Structure 1
């Protein structure tokens, strides 16, 4: 009786223990399933995210590759054509364009423009006139704009001194090689060229041609007064005394070599050594020396220093051409107008800011 009474209370204890075990098992299984579920899905999410990030990371590389590819293609296309700098550093970029007679008739530059059109290539970084060999480089005269074969109007818009301030340099030198008379070219440069020259060196072998005026020009007295409201000049203004004091005249031949017997002076040596000219000076040269320009300019083409020393060059290149026979140019054979054009173009390609003179 007593034993029975002792076993009855034990039944509830076994039931509670089993319940705890079952709940624990269910909790463990549920936790495992949950962990496994998140583990599997988070792995897939990471893969998807990595894939997306990978594509985003690769996008700039793909874009860069596309740009590089396009640039390479463009470069290959451009390399098939000569660069403008390459053209203008060669003589061919400066040669005049040969046009048919029909093209010439249709071109307004050949009928109305006194000054001519700009050249294809710049020189010293500045615009310069096109080499107009069709008119023997004497544009105004050939177009019947003037009766003066020595007219220089077409040069005025292209002067380097009007584009670059050559007055800023302390020493400003003008050399007139083959000066002829004072009014032939010296006065033209004094009057028209936009630079106040501190020195003028003029060469003329004939002492009867180049002479200083006996009486200096007096601007105040150069007036006629026909009525109180008018002022009329008596004569074309000359050169004042203060300018004449800057001039030095040489009765010597300009040459490519010194020769005491013929009174010839090597002008290249004279400029470098006697005058001690350098790139820091303003140097303008006009050359009209009856075909002796050919060997001198050939030397200058081989001398890089001369292109740096000479800021602007004006040269009359002598050649034989039927249209110039009336001016005694038959004696300049075998030089041709095409050769003259090639020489001028060669000088420009070497950096000489050169114009045909006049």
Structure 2
């Protein structure tokens, strides 16, 4: 696939070596994210345990910190970035925040191409890290717009939607899957029955799915897909030409099939209505005493569905998912009753269902 890169093959290795060293030093300063048990007495009595890996504690505040670090190292080692590069990314927000963090670390200008509907909090964070935002009207427009900006600036389009599944070493090397299984070693059910993730690029599901197979674990991988996303119907049909309206849950779901989403690595898709995602986000926030983002709510709905099936089938085991980012990024939107009612409908019935499952 073509990419927009203007790095010189004869770029001084000293800058490249220094750039890689800065990213590696930043990684060395960062501790791994916590994996914590989620108290769910109604399921624990049946031998079913819940866990969340808290990715909100990364320096740039979300799961996408891992992806951004991998994408920068991949681009640097491929010779696509140099010391005059403008870094450009198509993103709904969190990846752009994390890439802006790493661009600032290397002293490179950064442009995020994103829908106008992206939360103001994410926009502010991108600008805090020195990035610039280029807005388009819909999620489907970000790809061509990002290529255009990269061409106009003589920069490099990072293209997370193509490179996410290959930029991370899925065999190990401290990736998220290896971290999960290492942290689970002393739990009651150390090998999870299910790992639940969302998909925006598909990079996280690809890394976990490959690692599980490589290590010969019995764990199954479930992708929780929000309403309006193309991934669930694509998983059913295999039709790569499919399109969909797009998701209203920021950070996951897409209007088109992305190259980094590898359907053969996913054992099961769970399609989640928006009102259920929001109700679960709020219920989980109340349980934890801290706000979580809407994609974490989507994951939580899928976890509950799987747990109910396991309980009804008399199965025991653990279910593990991700706390993707903090809910503080979504105060004017997903945590605002008026905004939710206007954009997604009434959530009270969904909330009541959620409380019945949790109790």
Same fold (TM over 0.5): no
* Greater RCO structure (CA 8 Å; 6+ sep): 2
Structure whose alpha-carbon radius of gyration is higher: 1
More strand by share: 2
TM-score (norm 2): 0.31
